[in-house]
Structure 1
């Protein structure tokens, strides 16, 4: 997890290479909290029925998200990703 100079967050997810995880919701929980919910991507609609299994490998996927309005990025703040709290300290 990193706060970029542009004021965005870079979040790294670990998961299946064929069903990578991406943020699906990014909200301000308060002036000092960002709440991120993620989910694995689904395979295309053209996949045969029952073929939604994801590979059992581990791959990193990085997503860049905007910090929601109302969160003061000039001060340390929390980013809660799927219930796990991460502290971000500006440089």
Structure 2
């Protein structure tokens, strides 16, 4: 089991409130808001953490660049290189299929 799988397992064991709190803690390392693909719509909806939460809810429709490989969160959990553009293609879990 890799680091990302351990994180997802941990999140799955938390109740909804605790899970949202954990994701909020992880947000401090998220680079989504400064990514070239991120847009005003995603900003207004406060969308981020796509590697965990999945693709944008209708805001991001074009891949204009990807910072996932440089994200501290992605590096910590060893993701973002094989799969990326989480905002448009889906979470790490979804892309791993």
TM-score by length of 2: 0.23
Relative contact order, higher structure (CA 8 A, sep 6+)? 1
Structure with the greater alpha carbon radius of gyration: 1
Q: Could you say which structure has the higher helix fraction?
A: 2
Higher strand proportion, which one? 1
Q: Normalised by the size of structure 1, how large is the TM-score?
A: 0.24
